[in-house]
Amino acid sequence: MGDIEASDSNRSRQTVIHSLLPSKEFISSRKGLLLLGEVVLSFISFVCFAASTAAAFVTAPFIEFLAALFLLFAYSTKFNERFKGFHWPLMDFLRCVSASIIFFIISIMSVSKYPDGASKAAGVFGFVATIIFALDFYFIFNELANFLKGGDSSEEPPNTRDDDSDSDSD
């Protein structure tokens, strides 16, 4: 009897684990790959900064790691569709812009100012993270621009008045 209960508990554990993991459809999408790259590169640069003499820069990669991990979870589980009050693409855009600027600045400082290898590695991973974050905000910006173009054209009433005719008949 213990074997039957053990197999049921293993199945329930597996379903819980599978519900927390991102779906394969999302991970194979462009947004999923970018978010996964952001999570991995932020974590690697966090670890490198923690092991280096440039430990003052450890906070920014950690915060970006947590933010990217939250958005990876939110987008993969469709958490963002349940909360319509937030404008998720705009929040994601601002996160990517700020992250790319911050990663670029701390990477330049860690490569140029600190002589140890861990600082240099953190700077290199930070530069790669800068490129990934910049790609992400470029794609988000294009999506937002297309959305705004489509939204503006639908709100304008169609122009039925002929430009050659005057309202004055005199």
pLDDT band at 5 (very low <50, low <70, confident <90, very high): low
Condensed to tens digits (0 to 9), the pLDDT of residues 68-122 reads 999 888 888 888 788 877 788 888 999 999 999 999 999 999 999 999 999 999 9
Query: What span, in angstroms and rounded, lies between the C-alpha atoms of 83 and 92?
Result: 14
CA distance 138 to 143: 9
Of 92, 78, 105, 118, nearest to 38 by C-alpha is: 92
Give the tens place of pLDDT for each residue, 9-23: 666 666 666 666 667
**Angstrom distance (rounded) from CA 81 to CA 105:** 34
**26 contacts: CB under 8 Å, gap ≥ 6:** 32, 75, 76
Task: Determine the pLDDT at residue 138.
Answer: 94
Give the pLDDT confidence score for residue 134 in this predicted structure: 96
Entry pTM: 0.74
Structure-token match 């999923």, residue found: 32
Predicted local distance difference test score (pLDDT) of residue 153: 43
- Please check whether residue 135 is in contact with residue 103, taking contact to mean a CB–CB distance below 8 angstroms: no
The H or E element that residue 111 is part of is helix 88-113
Statement: residue 160 has pLDDT above 90: no
- Residue that wins the pLDDT comparison between 54 and 169: 54
